[in-house]
Chain A
């Protein structure tokens, strides 16, 4: 029996490791005697996510090697050992520790090293590069005694390094030789915008600066002197001026090397010596070096297949260098021929200076094919555009539509994933095609998470995650698998289905609903949802015995519960209008009960710090003074904000305050899937911010413009123009229909914006339903709304008039005492909840009970 083939891998970086994994996956690892030697003190780690080291400062978090990987597969791993010479005749490699390793096949995966420009002074202390975990440890240590940091190089890695330095709390500079940032990936326009965005983050950018000397600084450790005479002082310097292939060993053993470095390889990743392969960033294919992980991984797979003798069909044929990144929180993407170098290429550019977005596409002379693209500030189109470019898919007649925002709400010219061929590469990092993902779904992977773990798609740079999700969902739909949209474990229905069951079945209590359609005892998801649907359908008093226990935190006591268990009180002030007497009443009540007062973001007054037992007495006084519940606690209409309008404002063209008050009074108390907010502005100056509301109304000379489905909050969205120059009657008709349609069909806790975006056909469809009555339901929607309007009651008025209900508002069922643990301190002349420390110190505490 002949000895096992000896396979030696030099370099234990991500690509070297991918090579080992490919061998192991083939199941043939035990046919070989495998050794991997790496110069770094630890086995392969995820260099692509190097910067994430700062999050934990633990090297382990970046580890790429599965537990037991080397032992199980009988791989000999050597860390902290550097190969210094190769003898090709004897087929041995010698390391810096003097050991010799024989090989039958040798794989060079030595990667690259950062280029440090030979500027005088570059070897001074506190000068670093950004490539290994040790580099980051050294930078972090030095940053402790530094206040200014500078990065030489404004490319991709330079910006990443700058972000890290900024996050270490240093004043940060980026110095770039070229006239723009990321010169390789983006063009002038994109570079200019990128610069602005990065400067907005407080990083100073210096372009066209040629560093000539690094010497002693006056205020800082170093002083940099530039060719144009300018100077800059910094304590820390990081060089990120490009990478060079690590080809020292190849030079030493005289393998063929490219003119500007790199180990020359053929399509099988073999060097000029057929027993030696080179893969990853050290390899030069077709005169090109690939400084990205995806092509390196592909080379590793090709070399493994070739060594295993798995046919000649697997070859390396170049790679796409498209990239999508989030640099310092700025989306940047570059696809293919970003600079339009192809003869005859034409380009389209879209710049939105307001939103700081830059988009450019480069198309072929015929206008039929996408050659390249640059996106800065908004890279949502990346996946879509990349598929057009990679698969040569024919462009629509007006290619510019692909990057123009769809202002009129027309469906964007997205390419449904259905249009992609099975061979389309979805995840380039891990070479996963659409076909692979579909196969995984057919094999039982039903979520993006499952698909991620069995195909590795979306597990590296993450740029493809959205697209992977779309493919998974499309395939599930095709297979007839329903994506689980059950409300919760107690009801196998969506909110929309539950609404239907309740309405059609005339169901009025949770017990009945559970008995007919659910199981278990219910929970904090289905109970409030059911309560909200009951209220939308039947509009009964929400604290009726059968409903009270279903209500979510704030609805249960008709007040918003605060962090210390007290409540806030918000009387309605429709349209934000309040009389002086009203204000005085509110003020004197607040004073009497020692409540904290504040003007809310919704144009009214909030009184904080009431205990449970105080709520009814406070509300009694408010109601006696003519106030009613503001429903600040409900998933219901909150406020209709207004601007002062034509009554006072010199520009106003309609009575916006009057309109806001009418709308607020009409829809107050309407329970809905989520809260609803509105605003009315008296002219296009838009002082009421109507375009950030679920329903926004802006006065015109001829009537009103209606905007719908906007919101502020976590993910702000501007409202879309729905109808123009309509009269008040039409306005109310449309809003009635729109809100009722929303109440019927939205998911739980879905604001109107997300609801509309998820309706197939989007805004256009909504217009058809609401304006053209395409479903023939408008009469019904209006009738339903009218019945809610007619059955309105002030819940607080009902409550204080009902002795039985008032019992629910005692702090204790068996005692008149209050909660002694509720204590406040004074701040700026008012109360606020005492924090734990203040409670411990027990100084100047204000108790209510």
Chain B
């Protein structure tokens, strides 16, 4: 599969996220220091496309984003919800390629 470039590293604030549109899919792309992660932008709890707007941080050793509406945490690396293990969002391969943010889907 090929990589799609969505923006440059500087387009995303450090330790925060931005929404990206690839085809019809809305992605939440996160930047933690210089690493990139990509999840669905759709929050399964609020059913709104808002995950990219959540606060990025850590719970123990797990890197997470907190959904901005009702604050459930999702693992940036695995996509599962920390509060309810029956719920998860899709995660997509993502990378920082010399300052370009790229995803695969």
Say yes or no: A524-B66 contact (C-beta < 8 A), given A561-B50, A565-B50, A813-B12.
Answer: yes
* Chain B interface helix/strand/loop/mixed: strand
Determine the chain B residues whose CB is within 8 A of the CB of A95 once the complex forms. none
Say yes or no: A549-B69 contact (C-beta < 8 A), given A520-B58, A813-B20.
Answer: no
Over the window 44-81 of chain B, the binary record of Cβ atoms lying under 8 Å from chain A Cβ atoms (1 yes, 0 no) is 00111110011111111001101011010100000000
Determine the chain B residues whose CB is within 8 A of the CB of A812 once the complex forms. 18-21, 26
Determine the chain A residues whose CB is within 8 A of the CB of B7 once the complex forms. 813-814
Question: Contact at B69–A522, with CB atoms within 8 Å?
Answer: no
Which of A302-310, A550-558, A615-623, A647-655 is the contact stretch?
A550-558
Q: Which residue of B lies closest to A546 (CB)?
A: B14
Over the window 804-831 of chain A, the binary record of Cβ atoms lying under 8 Å from chain B Cβ atoms (1 yes, 0 no) is 0001100111110101011000000000
Question: Contact at B68–A553, with CB atoms within 8 Å?
Answer: yes
The verdict on A564 contacting chain B, using a C-beta distance below 8 Å, is yes
Say yes or no: A819-B26 contact (C-beta < 8 A), given A550-B55, A812-B21, A813-B19.
Answer: yes
How far apart sit A528 and B55, CA to CA, in the bound complex (Å)? 9
Determine the chain B residues whose CB is within 8 A of the CB of A807 once the complex forms. 11
CB-CB contacts below 8 Å: A671-725 with B: none
Determine the chain B residues whose CB is within 8 A of the CB of A450 once the complex forms. none
Determine the chain B residues whose CB is within 8 A of the CB of A550 once the complex forms. 55
Question: Contact at B55–A821, with CB atoms within 8 Å?
Answer: no
The verdict on A356 contacting chain B, using a C-beta distance below 8 Å, is no
* Chain A interface helix/strand/loop/mixed: loop
The verdict on A836 contacting chain B, using a C-beta distance below 8 Å, is yes
What distance in Å separates the Cβ of A306 from its nearest Cβ neighbour in chain B? 52
The verdict on A791 contacting chain B, using a C-beta distance below 8 Å, is no
Say yes or no: A811-B19 contact (C-beta < 8 A), given A520-B57, A545-B13, A563-B48.
Answer: yes
Determine the chain A residues whose CB is within 8 A of the CB of B50 once the complex forms. 561, 565
Determine the chain B residues whose CB is within 8 A of the CB of A817 once the complex forms. 21
What distance in Å separates the Cβ of A311 from its nearest Cβ neighbour in chain B? 52
How far apart sit A556 and B7, CA to CA, in the bound complex (Å)? 21
The verdict on B89 contacting chain A, using a C-beta distance below 8 Å, is no
Question: Contact at A523–B13, with CB atoms within 8 Å?
Answer: no
What distance in Å separates the Cβ of A811 from its nearest Cβ neighbour in chain B? 6
How far apart sit A606 and B51, CA to CA, in the bound complex (Å)? 25
Interchain CB contact (< 8 A) of A489 among B15, B42, B60, B63: B60
The size of the chain B interface, using a CB distance under 8 A, is: 37
How far apart sit A522 and B50, CA to CA, in the bound complex (Å)? 20
Determine the chain B residues whose CB is within 8 A of the CB of A527 once the complex forms. 55, 57
Determine the chain A residues whose CB is within 8 A of the CB of B19 once the complex forms. 811-813
Question: Contact at B68–A548, with CB atoms within 8 Å?
Answer: no
What distance in Å separates the Cβ of A645 from its nearest Cβ neighbour in chain B? 40
The verdict on A521 contacting chain B, using a C-beta distance below 8 Å, is yes
Question: Contact at A524–B57, with CB atoms within 8 Å?
Answer: yes
Q: Which residue of A lies closest to B60 (CB)?
A: A489
Determine the chain B residues whose CB is within 8 A of the CB of A808 once the complex forms. 13
Question: Contact at A813–B6, with CB atoms within 8 Å?
Answer: yes
Say yes or no: A523-B58 contact (C-beta < 8 A), given A565-B50, A821-B49.
Answer: yes
Over the window 559-577 of chain A, the binary record of Cβ atoms lying under 8 Å from chain B Cβ atoms (1 yes, 0 no) is 0010111000000000000
How far apart sit A490 and B59, CA to CA, in the bound complex (Å)? 9
The verdict on B29 contacting chain A, using a C-beta distance below 8 Å, is yes
How far apart sit A564 and B50, CA to CA, in the bound complex (Å)? 9
Determine the chain A residues whose CB is within 8 A of the CB of B49 once the complex forms. 565, 819, 821-822
How far apart sit A821 and B21, CA to CA, in the bound complex (Å)? 13
What distance in Å separates the Cβ of B16 from its nearest Cβ neighbour in chain A? 3
Interface centre among B57, B58, B64 (most CB of A within 10 A): B57
How far apart sit A527 and B46, CA to CA, in the bound complex (Å)? 22
Question: Contact at B16–A523, with CB atoms within 8 Å?
Answer: no
What distance in Å separates the Cβ of B22 from its nearest Cβ neighbour in chain A? 8
How far apart sit A522 and B16, CA to CA, in the bound complex (Å)? 12
Interchain CB contact (< 8 A) of A814 among B6, B48, B57: B6
Over the window 69-97 of chain B, the binary record of Cβ atoms lying under 8 Å from chain A Cβ atoms (1 yes, 0 no) is 10101000000000000000000000000
Determine the chain A residues whose CB is within 8 A of the CB of B68 once the complex forms. 552-553, 556, 561
Question: Contact at B14–A813, with CB atoms within 8 Å?
Answer: no
Determine the chain A residues whose CB is within 8 A of the CB of B26 once the complex forms. 812, 819, 821
Determine the chain B residues whose CB is within 8 A of the CB of A813 once the complex forms. 6-7, 11-12, 18-20, 29
How far apart sit A548 and B17, CA to CA, in the bound complex (Å)? 11
Question: Contact at A524–B16, with CB atoms within 8 Å?
Answer: no
Question: Contact at A557–B53, with CB atoms within 8 Å?
Answer: yes
Q: Which residue of B lies closest to A814 (CB)?
A: B6
Say yes or no: A549-B59 contact (C-beta < 8 A), given A811-B19, A814-B21, A836-B47.
Answer: no
Question: Contact at A523–B59, with CB atoms within 8 Å?
Answer: yes
Interface centre among A522, A549, A556 (most CB of B within 10 A): A549
Q: Which residue of B lies closest to A526 (CB)?
A: B57
Interchain CB contact (< 8 A) of B55 among A520, A523, A814: A523
Determine the chain B residues whose CB is within 8 A of the CB of A545 once the complex forms. 13-14
Binding site for B on A (CB under 8 A): 489-490, 520-524, 526-528, 545, 548-550, 552-553, 556-557, 561, 563-565, 807-808, 811-815, 817, 819, 821-822, 836
Q: Closest 6 A-B residue pairs measured CB to CB?
A: A549-B16, A565-B48, A521-B58, A524-B66, A523-B57, A553-B68
List 18 other contacts, CB 8 Å, given A521-B56, A813-B20.
A489-B59, A520-B57, A521-B15, A524-B54, A524-B55, A524-B73, A552-B55, A553-B54, A561-B53, A563-B69, A564-B48, A565-B46, A565-B48, A565-B50, A813-B18, A821-B26, A822-B49, A836-B47
A-B CB contact pairs (8 Å), 8 listed? A489-B59, A520-B57, A523-B58, A524-B55, A565-B49, A811-B19, A813-B19, A815-B21
